[in-house]
Amino acid sequence: MPTSILAQLAAAAPAGAPPAWIQYLPFAAMGLIFWFLILRPQMKQQKEHKTKLSALKKGDDVLTGGGFVGKVLKVDETYAEVELAQGVRVKALKSTIVDVIPPAGAKPAND
């Protein structure tokens, strides 16, 4: 009797079953989509921000993480001294500087 059960199971299995690696293909496709739509642009943005901070110099207008706009007076490796108003100077971590504001009239926004 045991042979008849095995014969029935073997006959019930589909003859043209796809290979096992095809089951993992959708997961690999989702991983690639995740990489190209989320991770890659984020890494590119981080690299651009790091480049901006390394090129920070005296006289640049900056936007801080707290939302303050000021002018850079002095820069060292980890800190930047920023003047927020006449006589109001703040020592800020360079990593908290969100953006370097281009000078007015440097380049039109639509060109």
What pLDDT, in 10s, does the model give residues 42-99? 999 999 999 999 999 999 999 999 999 999 999 999 999 999 999 999 999 999 999 9
Contacts of 65 (CB under 8 A, 6+ apart): 96, 97, 98
Question: CATH classification of 57-106, choosing from 2.60.40, 2.30.30, 3.40.50, 2.60.120?
Answer: 2.30.30
Domain definitions of the chain by residue range: 19-55, 57-106
Residue that the structure tokens 């927020």 belong to: 84
3-class DSSP state of 59: coil
Comparing CA positions, the residue from 89, 88, 90, 91 lying closest to residue 78 is 91
Write the DSSP symbol of residue 80: E
Q: Is residue 56 within 8 Å of residue 70, measured between CB atoms?
A: no
pTM: 0.65
pLDDT of residue 102: 85
